[in-house]
Amino acid sequence: MLAANHPNTFLDAVIFASLFHQPIYSLAKGDAFISPFVNKILQSFNIFPVYRISEGAENLKNNYDTFARVQQLLLRGKIVLIFSEGKCVSEWHLRPLKKGTARIAFEAWESGIDVKILPAGINYSSFRHFGKNVFIEFGNIIEKEKLAGHHEGKKLNTFNDILKKELSDLVLEIPVDDRNERKKVFELKSSRLKRILIAVPAGIGYLINSPFYYSAHFLIRKRAHGYYDGVMVGIMFLFYPLYVFLITLLVRIATHNPFSWLLLLIIPLTALSVLHARNVVEK
């Protein structure tokens, strides 16, 4: 079981899922499951709801189904991702841990499931800008034996104390307005040769891809609030392929050149060049 901090909406789960060959099953706030259609989509991505009292007392009973499913997954040796803070806040700070991770772990241990908890810290250079750097670190595995001998009534608190100590070493503590510290921690400088080689494709990529990116940015910048990155990734995932196809089609119609279809590959590669050309940490 992965026990992680949660600074950046569903993007955290997507990034963790990309690191493992096995599928990752994760839990998300119940308010994300706003309709049966969305519910079906999220669960197809192995994301299951956990409801809080603020999301309706009538929904709390659904948590039993989710937790039962989690126990079945752990029994089958699957990887389950838990965001132990219980809330997503875009900041460089470890928030107080909820007891959900501890409860799931102890329920598994009491059922004879030899589950191991791997603390994981994820840190972003920015939460609202293109071309961010992401650092991920893993802590020491927490096993049942680490809790042996502790008072039964305090076992959840003891578990959280251990997990907090592990996560504190993995999650950066940086004031929101301290750009210099973020630059020192996150900036990855490219070699001069690399910058020279990708300067032209990066410039072309900026010109081609900026209309799409900035249109999406201005559309959501005042609406997405703490969900900016997640919404932006969703828009790019759904509509960027269409944008690339339309540009390619227009060029094909205008030039009648069959090699125009290569733009389907070239345009995304120029966008990748823009990523590699960026070194700075944005405000």
Split at pLDDT 50, 70, 90, the class of 58 is low
Q: b vs e for 117-128, b when ≥16 Cβ sit within 10 Å of the residue's Cβ?
A: bbbbbbbbbbbb
Structure tokens that stand for 186 in this block: 């996150």
pLDDT digits (tens, 9 = 90+) for 129-180: 877 889 999 999 999 988 876 666 688 999 999 999 999 999 999 998 888 8
Residue of 220, 221, 272 whose CA lies nearest to 244? 272
Determine the Cα–Cα distance for residues 217 and 212; give it in Å rounded to an integer: 9
What was the pLDDT predicted at 283? 46
Q: Which residues pair with 129 in a beta bridge?
A: none
Determine the Cα–Cα distance for residues 91 and 229; give it in Å rounded to an integer: 13
What was the pLDDT predicted at 268? 96
Tell me the average pLDDT of the chain.
88
What was the pLDDT predicted at 55? 66
Question: Is the pLDDT score of 33 beyond 90?
Answer: no
Domain ranges of the chain: 2-168, 190-277
Orientation angle between helical segments 263-277 and 192-220, nearest 10 degrees: 100
Split at pLDDT 50, 70, 90, the class of 70 is very high
pLDDT digits (tens, 9 = 90+) for 249-277: 999 999 999 999 999 999 999 999 988 88
Averaged pLDDT, 219-237: 84
Provide the percentage of residues in the chain whose pLDDT is more than 70: 93
What was the pLDDT predicted at 150? 64
Orientation angle between helical segments 228-255 and 9-17, nearest 10 degrees: 70
Determine the Cα–Cα distance for residues 69 and 224; give it in Å rounded to an integer: 31
| Burial class of residue 244 in the structure, from the number of CB atoms within 10 Å of its CB (0-12 exposed, 13-18 middle, 19+ buried) | buried
Sign of CA dihedral 251, 253, 256, 261: positive
CATH architecture of residue range(s) 2-168: 3-Layer(aba) Sandwich (3.40)
Sign of CA dihedral 41, 44, 45, 49: positive
Structure tokens that stand for 252 in this block: 């094909």
pLDDT digits (tens, 9 = 90+) for 100-140: 899 999 999 999 999 999 999 999 998 888 778 899 999 99
CB atoms within 10 A of CB 277: 19
Q: Find the farthest-apart pair of alpha carbons in the chain and give their distance in angstroms, rounded.
A: 77
Tokens 């599928």 belong to 23
Q: Supply angle C-alpha 281, 282, 283, rounded to 5.
A: 125
Provide the percentage of residues in the chain whose pLDDT is more than 90: 53
- Single-letter residue type at 23: P
Averaged pLDDT, 24-32: 81
Question: Is the pLDDT score of 79 beyond 90?
Answer: yes
What was the pLDDT predicted at 92? 94
Split at pLDDT 50, 70, 90, the class of 188 is confident
Question: Is the pLDDT score of 4 beyond 80?
Answer: yes
- CB-CB contact of 217 with 223 (8 Å): no
Phi, psi for residue 212 in degrees, rounded to 5: -70, -50
Determine the Cα–Cα distance for residues 117 and 114; give it in Å rounded to an integer: 10
